[in-house]
Amino acid sequence: MRPVEQAAAPAGLSAPVWPREAPAARARAAASGHAPAAIFVGLLALGLAPLWLVPHVPTQDGANHVESVLGLLRLPHSALLQHHYLPNYGPQPNWLTQLLFAGLVQLVSPRVAEKLVLSGYLLLLPLAFRYALPRTARGRWAALAIFPFLHSYPFHMGFWNFSYSLVLFFAAVGCWYRRRGRFTARSGLAFSALTVALFAAHSVSTAAAFAAITAVLAWRGGLALWRARRHVRRRSVVVRGYLSRAIATYAWALPAIALLAFFLVHQPKPYAYRPSLFDYAKHLASLYALVSFDRRELFLTFPVALAVAAAVLLALRARARRALRPVDGWLAAAALATALYFLTPDSVADGAQLTDRLALYPFFAALLWLGWSSAPLVTVRRAALALAVLFLAATGFRLAKYQQLDGYLAEYESVATHVPEGSTILPLTFAPFGPREGGAIDGKKLLSYRVQVFQHVNGWIASDRRGVDLDNSQAKTTHTPLRWKDETNPFTYLNTRPFGLEDEPPCVELWAYTRLVGRIDAVLVWGATEKSAQDACGGAVLAELARDYERVYVSQPRGMAELWRPKAAR
């Protein structure tokens, strides 16, 4: 704002003064500067609310984490656990949250410890994203754009380590981008520590971070070389400079790169599953990776994808000159992340739901570009506010779903008090998504659309009763704290076809396990209906159950959980 002349100034002098409205204008400017920070704090609190407003957090694999960590802690003093499990120490990923949970359960109950672990992610992801952005008005507004990605499908799947790896992804790429490979000893050690911690969380985010860094570095180097194409000496300086940055980057990241390579080389390669190209495309365009409990969530996730794409296109269109810029390296990173998404199978070796993880990184790179670019502030602000509103709507929708699911989870866990301590428990989950329309195994899902909320709830019961959960699917992989002994692996001796124990309905034979491995003290049946018996697998296991076991408990009020014990145990 320009000063104006006083009308009654002494002859020969003029006294510049600010108009009377200047203090109000400055106050408005200050308020607008504080607005994104205030909104950011409010959205942080909103993101935590659903977690603490219900007793049970509805995730698929959360109980697996709980029972695996508690099992590892109890292993030295439990003959029962030693009969079934081996500790799985080694340089594999997925250790980060296991160690965090192991520390927390020394101070609080497992239930509270789980919520604290998840709360840590919900707080740290927005903060890490904000760290990776510039400390400018554009960066502060862009920081709001991460919130719709908080309660994603991987989060509700209970992928603790992957969730934390997203935090470390932003921390690592943010640390690198602030220096662009020009590290001091201190910053290099920090970058090295971040990448090792990233590997300890999850291999997918480790690979994604190195892919993003490589794309940005290659783009900036290639652009600088193009601009120096007519100057031989300058070209030589560019090559030496960017080669030095690349060497420094990968040298400081070498421990994490070596760990990642070792892990990947030693992965089993049993099979790979790839959806159709059309599925890949429609899932990316609709941000299907954010859909968890209800298909109607697509009405909120598709606008998120649309808002990000529109903001990028509007920012590009607003450029006065169409020349390529170094900051466009983030768009190159988004393009590379998109290519990797389409090229990677959904399941390979011990990894599953890979596309739902890889679909996030193109959007992350695009959002980082918005924050670092010279996009008009009004474009970034409008996109950020639109995404904040979508997050608000999605959070309200999911809170209602949490509350609906909580009653069913409480009914499932009501079985716990009827299970003797030290029991070997077999859960037979006929309704992993909850009840279906008409009780049919292929009927419309009435409670949860994608997340099998009830598949591993028995992990809580087994942990509470200091027993063994025969559906601990984490223990059949190579990257969790416990693994089944070959001679007691229930997935070997129970299944009548691959993944039979976790089929809907289960395809298992109990007699084979009891004859070849050991006893089953309790069978927990969830969601069996009259129509379940009409299926070949469902009918066979229910007939075996009726022949060799007796029902001792039925849950209330819906009767969805049943507890059975061997008839010989009477």
C-alpha–C-alpha distance, residues 135 and 329, integer Å = 19
Q: Which domain holds residue 240?
A: 92-402
Can you give the pLDDT at residue 12? 44
With a cut of 50, say whether residue 2 has pLDDT above it.
no
pLDDT at 3: 45
Q: Is residue 190 part of a domain?
A: yes
Enter the DSSP assignment of 495. Answer: B
Mean pLDDT of 254-274: 83
**pLDDT score recorded for residue 26:** 56
Q: Which pLDDT score, from 0 to 100, does residue 348 have?
A: 72
Residue 112 has pLDDT above 60, yes or no: yes
Cα 357–chain centre separation: 7
* Percent of residues, the chain, with pLDDT higher than 90: 84
Task: Measure Cα distances from 461 to 10, 52, 102, 199, 272 in Å.
Answer: 88, 21, 18, 31, 33
Let me know if residue 210 belongs to a domain: yes
Strands 272-273 and 347-348: antiparallel
Q: Which residue has the tokens 């009405």?
A: 299
Token pair of 538 as six digits = 């469902």
- Residue 31 located in a structural domain: no
3-class secondary-structure state, position 6: coil
* Average confidence (pLDDT) over 248-260: 96
Give 32's pLDDT tier (boundaries 50, 70, 90): low
Q: Do residues 460 and 526 make contact, with C-beta atoms less than 8 angstroms apart? A: no
CA atoms within 13 A on the CB side of 440: 5
Instruction: With a cut of 50, say whether residue 10 has pLDDT above it.
Output: no
In-domain check, residue 141:
yes
Alpha carbons 438 and 82: distance in angstroms, whole number: 43
Q: Which of 12-26, 288-302, 495-509 has the lowest mean pLDDT?
A: 12-26
- Predicted local distance difference test score (pLDDT) of residue 27: 54
Tokens 């145990």, located at residue? 569
Q: How far apart are CA 166 and CA 212, in angstroms?
A: 13
Q: Match 């890889």 to its residue by tokens.
A: 358
Give the pLDDT confidence score for residue 347 in this predicted structure. 79
pTM of the model: 0.92
Rounded-to-integer distance, Cα 94 and Cα 160, Å: 8
Domain count within the chain: 1
User: How does pLDDT run across 267-292, given as a tens digit for each residue?
Assistant: 766 567 888 999 999 999 999 999 99
Instruction: State the pLDDT at residue 28.
Output: 55
Mean of pLDDT values over 312-334: 92
Output the CA torsion sign for 552, 555, 559, 560.
negative
Of 59-73, 128-142, 292-306, 319-333, minimum mean pLDDT range: 319-333
Mean pLDDT within 490-514: 93
Mean pLDDT of the 112-118 span: 98
Predicted local confidence at residue 13, as pLDDT? 43
Q: What local confidence, expressed as pLDDT, does residue 110 receive?
A: 97
* 191 in any annotated domain: yes
Give the orientation angle of helix 298-317 with respect to helix 277-285, to 10 degrees. 80
Tell me which amino acid residue 526 is.
Answer: W
At 83 the pLDDT is 96
pLDDT band at 14 (very low <50, low <70, confident <90, very high): very low
**49 domain-assigned:** no
- Helix or strand (DSSP H, E) at 549: strand 549-554
* Average confidence score pLDDT of the chain: 92
pLDDT at residue 240 tops 90 = yes
Helix axes 377-413, 22-52, angle to 10 degrees: 20
Whether residue 125 is contained in a domain is answered as yes
- The per-residue DSSP string of 79-142 comes to HHHHHHEEE--SS-S--HHHHHHHHHTTTS-HHHHHHHHHHHHHHHHHHHHHHTS-SSHHHHHH
Rg of the chain on CA atoms, in Å: 28
| pLDDT level of residue 66 (50, 70, 90 thresholds) | very high
CB 298, CB 450: distance < 8 Å: no
- Does 44 reside within a domain? no
CB of 532 closer than 8 Å to CB of 441: yes
| Confidence check: pLDDT of 354 > 60 | yes
Reported as a single tens digit per residue, the pLDDT across 427-485 is: 999 999 999 999 888 899 999 999 999 999 999 999 999 999 999 999 998 888 899 99
Half-sphere exposure of 48 (CA within 13 A, CB side): 15
Check residue 199 and give left, alpha or beta (phi > 0: left; psi -120 to 50: alpha): alpha
393-402 pLDDT tens trace: 999 999 999 9
Q: Which residues contact 464 (CB under 8 A, 6 or more apart)?
A: 416
